Structure 1
Amino acid sequence: MPESSKIFTYAVDGLAYTVTVYEENGAFFADITVDEGAMDVNAVYFGDDDFSGSSESLRGPLNMNGASLDGEKVQWDAATELSRPGLGPEGEDKETYLQTGDTMTVSLDIESLDEIDIFGIRATSTTNDAGSIKGVSGDPEEPEEPEDPEEPTYEKVFFGEVFSDSGDPLGGTFILDEAPDPNPYSIPALPEGTEPTFGNYLSHFLSEEIGGDLSAVESVVFYGSGEDGSQAELFRIEAPEGGFETPEDLLAAYDEAIEGTEDLAGQDLMAALSLDDYAAAAPETGEEIGLEMEDFDLI
């Protein structure tokens, strides 16, 4: 994956291309991709946005004489010949002849992407009416950083150590997203202001404050709001034989459980996972848990 990049585009009737200039492992390259039509890329030019000083140029048919950007004559800092005009005996198999969908990579002798604000291509055998171009592209697009998918959040997570034959929680540690007020049973909750993602629940369970024993966990149960607004079990992760050895093992099992779901927030998590078997209403307070408190290890 490129470490950073700039994208230049150019289009005339019958021809369009994209140039992606990027850094990778300390070296710099330009990927020239034809989006429409075809062209024989004979030379590339580039420069920064300071148009003062002398301009680099290649002689003869590879020159960019008269090239301008927004009505201003371009001053090029560098020019590189890639091929001579004409397809010759190779025809369309010529290495620099690009058709729709083709990409050619050119190495660039620069030390920083800041050196390239303007990119030019001198091409012949093109599919526009003129049959050649002196293409100039400026104002490079900065590629959008992909957004990290939103982490699902939960109203409560149970790190269960003992369950009934029917799967009901009997012993373990409940952790709430927010501490209730009052909290007569001292049910643990995430620290104030902590986002209720599973990673944060797990970190809190293993913290000195809770002192949870991961090896004793038989199943982790996740709770959120059901369709009627009441708290309900969303899904659970069963421990492998011998239990979870490390937090990374449990996180990997969690990632596998939610992999491929489209919307993992709130009520939509329940629909996305379609785990109706686990959608029984879950209590919200100590009294509503309906359990003898001595049967629980509420740390």
Structure 2
Amino acid sequence: MRHFASLLGFAAVVSARCSVVPCAGKCAQAVSQDPEVGASFCSSFLSLAPATRTVTQVDVAESTHTNVETITSTLTLIDSTSTTTLASTITVYQKRQAAGPAETISASCSSNAARLSSACNCFFGSTTSTSTATVTESSTSTSIYEETTTSTEIATVSEVAIATATPSLVIPANPIVNGDFENYITTGNIAPWTDTTATTGGTVQIINGVNPCTATGYCAGGRVVVRVYPPTTGGVNDYTALVETFNARPSTTYTVSFVYRCLNFDASTGIDVYYQGSRAGGITCPAGNSAAFNMASGIQFTTDATGAGQIQIRFLNPNRLLYTYFYADQFTATAVTSN
């Protein structure tokens, strides 16, 4: 132990000094017989304060972890009593020396205080003092002290009920846009319609100057109509279609109508209407009547819960007649019922 080594060194100095100071007698010999025992006995008898050594120990944490702190602790060491100050204070007392040598010294001096004081002063060189030497040492430790903290956050959510009036749904008069193709005059195209000529073949044209009136006297507004030539050769398709995607009222039944005229046709030539890929109905070109327009009616489709859908107007030429073509105008979809 460190204090033991210090006592030995101290005792060596005392022995050297006692060899100079004439200290005779049985009492002095008992004190100096065992330097360690004598130093301990005389220190206690003369009430000498032991040397105090203060050691500052710095623990430096080296870690890649987060939340690692540097902890500084003070360690106080006393020759006779060792006190360690870290997270808690632990006092460790030395085991008391056996009573025999101390009693021997006391007995050799007849337990006379004057003799004991003289012998101890001789042992310490006739000088009694309080050691005030303070040594500060620093050391670095690789110990890592980590503190794990768990925090709990409580979120409070306030729900506010907002009363809103149910908006009234307006049934579109005609969700089909540009159903009469009059916008072609200014736009140069049939948007929002598209056609299937790229995949089915055939030809789609916009014609201005046609008088779309039926035999019953009904005339569509304007003189712009669509002219469709279905495919006549090759492939599995026997139609060319106009296609439009639109939004209507959800879960509502619509009736489709339009005016049309068939030219150079046979009994199997006609026009079908498809909604969302399913056939909603259609017409067959009237036999023997190729001069006047006719009104298609009785074709219906029902929207789903979203109201969104796609309509196809398919111009049929199943026998691929070489000169068959159609005029058509004024496509409308009129709401009938709301499911």
Per the shorter chain, which TM-score range?
Answer: under 0.3
Q: TM-score, normalising length from structure 1? A: 0.19
Who wins on radius of gyration, i.e. which is larger?
Answer: 2
Q: TM-score, normalised by structure 2?
A: 0.17
